[in-house]
Structures are given as C-alpha cells and as structure tokens.
Amino acid sequence: MGMARRKMARRKATFRKATIRKWAPWMLLLLAPLCLLNLSVAFFGNSLVFPLSPFFLRNKAAALGRYALHRPLCIFRGHLPVDDAVARAEAKQRLPRGLLAALIQVESNGRVHRISSAGAMGPGQLTPSTAKLLGVSDPFDPVESIEGSSRYLAAQLATFHDVRLAVAAYNAGPGAIVNRTVPQNGETEFYVRKVMSAYAATHRPQPPTLATRQVP
C-alpha cells in the first residue's frame, strides 16, 4: 500500500513538472508585455511600479503614448518653469495663494514628466480621462497641464466652498464627497493632510531679521 502511494506521488510530481515545462514559455510570453509596460512607466515616469501589476493598464499605455509624443518636442523647446506656470494659473483662476503650488508639490514634486503607477500624468497628475475632460492635449506640458489642474481645482472649490473638500475631490473625484466629509479610503485622507500641511507652510510667518546697524 505504501509503495503504491509513493508511486502515485512520483507520478503526480512528474506530471506537475511536465506541465510547468510545457506552459512556462507561454506564460513568459504572455507576461512579457505586461512587465515591459510597467517597467517603462517606472523608468520614464520616475515612479515605483510593480512589474507584474495588472492594474490601470489602459491608463499606463495612454500615458506612455502621450509621453512619446511630448518628449521629442520638449527636448528642443524646453519648458516654462513649474513655479511660474503655477503662479500664473493661481492668479488666473483666483485660487487661494499657495494652494495650487502645495497640490502640485504633493502630486508630483513638480516633476513635469512624472507618470504614476495608476497612469496619471504630469505635474498635476491628470488621468487620461480627466485630461480629456479638461481639454488638456499634452499633460506633460507644464503650462497646459497646470492650467487644467487649476481649472479642475477651482471647480471643486466652487462646488464645495471648502479647501479641504476641494482637495479631496481633486484626488478622489467629486462623487466621492458624501455628507461633506473627506473620504476615508486609505488614500484621500492622507493626501488631504499632505496638501494642507504644504499649503500651511506657505503661510507661516517668516522669522524677523535683525537690521544691521550701519556705522558712519
């Protein structure tokens, strides 16, 4: 009886090995495009992405396509500094001074070519669908991208009349704001804290400096 069980176990082990050998090349062939897509996002977008992540594939592919169209142009013509683009957009949309700058800092740390693990693009981290909604054709162009982000943020402020809720809506979407509270989804609440902290830092009074007395 024990001999029969050992033989059966050996047969099962042999069958498993044969199956793995048979299907391993096909699995590698199927996973290669997925791995290449995620590694490309990590490399070109300067972000952390798990190579075998199956999430947001369409957004990632769209983001890489936009990046491929944008990159050759910006090599030759360059970009307007992000701080200048932020200041212009804040003034144009009459946003609270420093709010958009804080949001851009948290979203991308001001990196124009950033692509997130979810396929969000540019300094304001616009998803392909949001960029299309805002009419932003090049999310990696800081002027166009930040202008779109400022309009989206201004719309949330006009809707909720509250800075924290507007920031939460920018991150999670206006539909996620229920009963005028910040969504507790494991991401948005921490995002709002980071943005509000960066925003508060822009309003901290500077320490007084001692005037140097000139000796005649």
Mean pLDDT of 30-37: 88
CB 146 within 8 A of CB 104: yes
Phi and psi torsions of 186, nearest 5°: 85, -5
- Confidence tier at 216 by pLDDT (50, 70, 90): very low
Residues with a known catalytic role: 107
Mean pLDDT of 63-79: 91
Q: What is the pLDDT of residue 192?
A: 97
- Confidence tier at 31 by pLDDT (50, 70, 90): confident
Q: What is the pLDDT of residue 154?
A: 97
- pTM flag (> 0.85): no
Residue 29 confidence (pLDDT) above 70 = no
3-state SS, residue 183? coil
Helix, strand, coil % in the chain, rounded to nearest 5 = 65, 0, 35
3-state SS, residue 121? strand
**Range of weakest confidence among 20-29, 143-152, 187-196:** 20-29
Residue 155 confidence (pLDDT) above 60 = yes
Q: Domains of the chain, with CATH numbers?
A: 76-201 (1.10.530.10)
Q: What is the pLDDT of residue 202?
A: 79
- Confidence tier at 200 by pLDDT (50, 70, 90): very high
- Confidence tier at 207 by pLDDT (50, 70, 90): low
Residue 15 confidence (pLDDT) above 80 = no
CB 50 within 8 A of CB 38: yes
